[in-house]
A = this chain, B = another copy of it.
């Protein structure tokens, strides 16, 4: 029998809402992260295993978690990622945290949702280097996985659709509620310091909030990089134009979420900014025509660090062992 769709209620957040609602900031351009709803817990548990399973790569060494490491803000903290045979990736790995809130996936938005994204790296020769057929054959050779797919989906149609659906369902749990900024939004007035509040005021008044707004503080629009002055880093990426084919979309990217931005260094699509100080300075100059003073920059950075929410907390999954029939990885 498949698990019923269940409503996950995060008691802490709900209790917080009830208690603090009277004083909540209701007219801010950033809104608190809400807990995920309507999750299929069987798929979540299965997807967690798949997310951590390096057997979905040709080498048997690279899993989703290798580049979207949940111990490290859902990223690899590298400028660009390391793929199969140490291939150097073309672009910075975006965080998986709160990625369910994005309007689309990848920097150029070429995947409409998490499920469509999940299949990409598995079959990308420069990432996991495998194929969907090989991944499904491998999973079908592992009896405990076969049973778990039946349990989660209610049938034995184990294909790439089910694999990516389970991974996406797990990823929907990876939201990070209850940041100090969200506590402040929800009415806890002393959750932020004077410097942090000044930084938020600057963030709004300088125009950062024009793109970085909503629940994810970004992730909800595509924007051209280098509006006022040219981007100082790598200018080779096609950006959104790779999807739309329009020259006007060249070097336009999905605005990244600023949730947990303290953890997701280095910054920009090419990972060229190592620190928040540098990233804030660059964005002010090239997007807004504004030169933040050192103290203003420090205030904005202080505000950004209040966006670090509760990180995913779960027991590390134990993967079912390969059977004698399971194809062996090809590490070399």
Contact = CB atoms under 8 A, between A and B. Distances in A.
Interface in A245-277: 262-263, 265-266, 274-275, 277
Contacts of A311: 318
Interface residues of A, number: 45
Query: Which residue of A82, A316, A328 has the most chain B CB atoms within 10 A of its CB atom?
Result: A316
Contact of A331 (B66, B78, B322, B332): B78
Complex copy number for this chain = 2
Interface in A37-72: 52-55, 59-61, 66, 69-72
B77 A66 contact: no
27 contacts: A54-B76, A55-B77, A59-B78, A61-B82, A71-B316, A71-B318, A71-B319, A73-B321, A77-B322, A79-B331, A80-B331, A82-B332, A85-B86, A86-B86, A88-B331, A262-B321, A265-B321, A265-B322, A274-B324, A274-B328, A275-B324, A277-B324, A311-B318, A312-B316, A313-B318, A314-B315, A316-B316
Given A71-B317, A72-B319, 15 more contacts: A54-B69, A59-B78, A61-B82, A71-B316, A71-B318, A77-B329, A80-B331, A85-B86, A86-B86, A88-B332, A262-B321, A274-B328, A312-B316, A315-B315, A315-B316
Interface of A: 52-55, 59-61, 66, 69-73, 76-80, 82, 85-86, 88, 262-263, 265-266, 274-275, 277, 311-319, 321-322, 324, 328-329, 331-332
